[in-house]
Amino acid sequence: MQLKHALNAGLSALALLVPAGVAAQTAQPAEPALEEIIVTAQRRSENLQEVPVSVAAISGDTFRDYLAGGGDVLALSGRVPGLYAETSTGRIFPRFYIRGLGNNDFYLGASQPVSIIIDDVVMENVVLKSSPLFDTQQVEVMRGPQGTLFGRNTTAGIIKFDSIAPSHETQGRGTVTYGTFGTVTADAGVGGSLIDGVLAIRASAMVQHRGDWVDNTADGTKLGGYDDKAARVQFLLTPGEDTDVLLNVHGRDLDATSTLFRGYALTKGSHKLNGNYDKDKVAYNDGDANDQSYEGWGSSLKVDHDFGNVVLTSITAYETTNGYSRGDTDGTAGNFAESQGNIDDLDQWTQELRLASDTTGPLNWQVGGFYFDSDEQLTFRPYNFFETGGASGFVTLGNENRSWALFGQAGYRITDDLKLTGGLRWTEDKKEMNVLRALQAGTFTSVEDGRRITQASYTGIRHVELKDDELSWDASAFYDLTDEVSVFGRIARGFRGPTIQGRTVSFNGAPTTATSETILSYEAGLKSSLLDDRLRLNGAVYTYTVNDIQLTAFDGNGTARLLNADKGVAYGLEVDAEAFLTPDFIITAGLTYTDTEIKDDQVTTSICSGGVCTVKDPLVNGRAKIDGNPFPNAPEYILSLTARYNMPLADGSNLFLFTDWNMTGRTNFVLYESEEFYSKGDFEGGLKIGYENPDRTYEVALFGRNITNEKNVKGVIENYLAAVVNDPMTVGISFTARLP
């Protein structure tokens, strides 16, 4: 009781910090109140405020606002506390970082410590992680290791996307936008009952188009456009009151410009863009050689059967894709650094069986098993070995990944105020790589410049196999201090399986490997619903240590090589807030601060060649010592803010304004510290002004993305001082319709 009195006093002090518009309403009736948010962070539906995990949730409508200018999943970057994302391979290769932990490797077979789950299916390959997101119900970002219920390769966290599911009620929605650069987005879904009470359907589709808008001054071509099309159909069969069967079939077809590298857009000694950057122009040897094309499809079958006190769930899924991406990585017409990576074929099978309690008592539990099977055939062409004559510059690799897991979790409510939860997962992970085709001896002619290059046959390792088994676990306590405020503590151990990097073979180098990394994470958090549910304030402090952390270093020719450093450590805090300032004015705000540090006094990495950059780290034999450096792509802080203001009209219709902003602190792009390869204080904003009719069946709005036209560097190619820059300002109009 003393603790509760102390907390009430602390909350009274906190109320003084809340915007005056909120505090002034404390004496008003409870309406309006923030809506309850239901999440599935523990593989069951629960109130966000009752889950002992740091979770952020974004509604499908808000997510669609972020995509209005033709964006993809990268639009989430910086808009959720702790989440950062970037790419150097266009729309097919997003890389994610949570609480500073991620992987900047651009190898098509790379693993990431942030797992992507779409409609209950893990998307392991980086191209699968780029699957278009449309007709989305909700996005959940789970921060910290999630290895007990979701498996290996979740040491940083999970981003989970749930599509709108079929219903026996007739439902439909659609959004169409048109904007700058001829950008068109259409995202729609409609469904209802086929056989009343027995069979329902929902069909969804997305089209994103942008015209080529960047002039290639070297050959007169134009770049920058894309056509990304996707569709999904879901059938919900209910053969009896105890059984649900959900079939999901989906596909994608993409043709697009790959990432535009802006050669020598940075100047030695500065991290700012110089006069060589022109958003409307590039100068590439061959503009047609900076494109990408992918197609794929997948299907999942989810069966739930209720036995009374327990529910059995089976999820069987298959994903496949193939395509290529090619890029002019030096970003100029004067050099010839080009490369291409293909997925000739990818087949991923997953099977999960889970048995979970379905009771309202103090005990809840679940046990299950998981099987993962992936086969990939990858082909690479390095920049100066494009196939000519009788010799081949192709390198083809075969990757196999098999994984088994058994898991269980139990939660018990000790008292009305205290609940304990614990989980355990055993996983065996096996990876193999075979060199199916290597560089052959001969004389190669660079297609672009006619140079003759003599190449010896590859004589290195042709088979690599790694295997490991690990235990992941977590334990948490959740305590209700008052009806409005709860606190939790969580300890979690996870691991990322061993990794093989084969792209080095395309430069006649042996494949590189990294053993499993393990993480031990500690966090303590607060979840609260204050001021008559007008203010939701959640937060956490955390620290973690990654032993044998997997890092990717880049050699002078840009070849990525894997290595293990002794450890990486981090600590930080995050805050999520949502508040009604008035009945018609709602804001959300987020803050993350993260301090990351590599701990290994022996590890070194290659640096930019030819002295084109200013290295700040100590050098040993021309290599930088990175002990004490931050993790790459780990912003020191992330700030985010959204605000929506409604202006109800006399006839019941509504005018509204929605805006969103985010800012990121210092972010190092590479393993070593330099004067050039980082960003600091980058920000972007979005705006939407619209009208809703009285029954809310349609809205029309003007929108803008990056409305201040910020030029933010998101990545670099070191040897050419080349920059990857965010999209310029886009503006347009959107129309949304909903079935009544």
- The pLDDT of residue 380 is 86
Percent of the chain with pLDDT over 90: 78
Using CA atoms, how far apart are residues 21 and 579, in angstroms rounded to an integer?
10
User: Considering the entire predicted model, what is its pTM?
Assistant: 0.92
Using CA atoms, how far apart are residues 139 and 161, in angstroms rounded to an integer?
5
630 with 668: CB under 8 angstroms?
yes
Dihedral in degrees, nearest 10, Cα atoms 84, 88, 90, 94:
-30
533 with 580: CB under 8 angstroms?
no
**Comparing 557 with 216, which gets the higher pLDDT?**
216
With a cut of 60, say whether residue 411 has pLDDT above it.
yes
Using CA atoms, how far apart are residues 49 and 313, in angstroms rounded to an integer?
25
Indicate the DSSP class of residue 182: G
- 110-133 exposure pattern, b = at least 16 Cβ within 10 A, e = fewer: bbbbbbbbbbbbbbbbbbbbbbbb
The amino acid occupying position 455 is Q
Using CA atoms, how far apart are residues 178 and 186, in angstroms rounded to an integer?
9
209 with 197: CB under 8 angstroms?
no
With a cut of 50, say whether residue 386 has pLDDT above it.
no
- The pLDDT of residue 139 is 96
Task: Please write the tens of the pLDDT for every residue from 525-564.
Answer: 999 999 999 999 999 999 999 999 999 887 655 567 889 9
**What's phi and psi for 130, nearest 5 deg?**
-90, 5
Using CA atoms, how far apart are residues 377 and 548, in angstroms rounded to an integer?
28
Structural domains of the chain, ranges and CATH numbers in brackets:
2-454+475-738 (2.40.170.20)
Using CA atoms, how far apart are residues 329 and 723, in angstroms rounded to an integer?
10
> Which residue shows structure tokens 């290791």?
145
Nearest Cα residue to 55 out of 544, 576, 488: 576
**Highest mean pLDDT pick, 201-205, 307-311, 384-388, 554-558:** 201-205
3-state SS, one letter per residue, for 394-426: CEEEEEEEEEEEEEEEEEEECCCCEEEEEEEEE
Alpha-helix runs per DSSP H in 121-245: 147-150
Task: Please write the tens of the pLDDT for every residue from 480-521.
Answer: 999 999 999 999 999 999 999 988 888 778 899 999 999 999
Nearest Cα residue to 93 out of 342, 379, 373, 433: 342
With cut-offs at 50, 70 and 90, classify the pLDDT of residue 466: very high
Using CA atoms, how far apart are residues 131 and 321, in angstroms rounded to an integer?
10
Task: Please write the tens of the pLDDT for every residue from 23-41.
Answer: 333 333 446 788 899 999 9
- The pLDDT of residue 446 is 53
683 with 661: CB under 8 angstroms?
yes
Half-sphere exposure of 285 (CA within 13 A, CB side): 18
**What's phi and psi for 47, nearest 5 deg?**
-65, 130
Using CA atoms, how far apart are residues 427 and 335, in angstroms rounded to an integer?
46
403 with 374: CB under 8 angstroms?
no
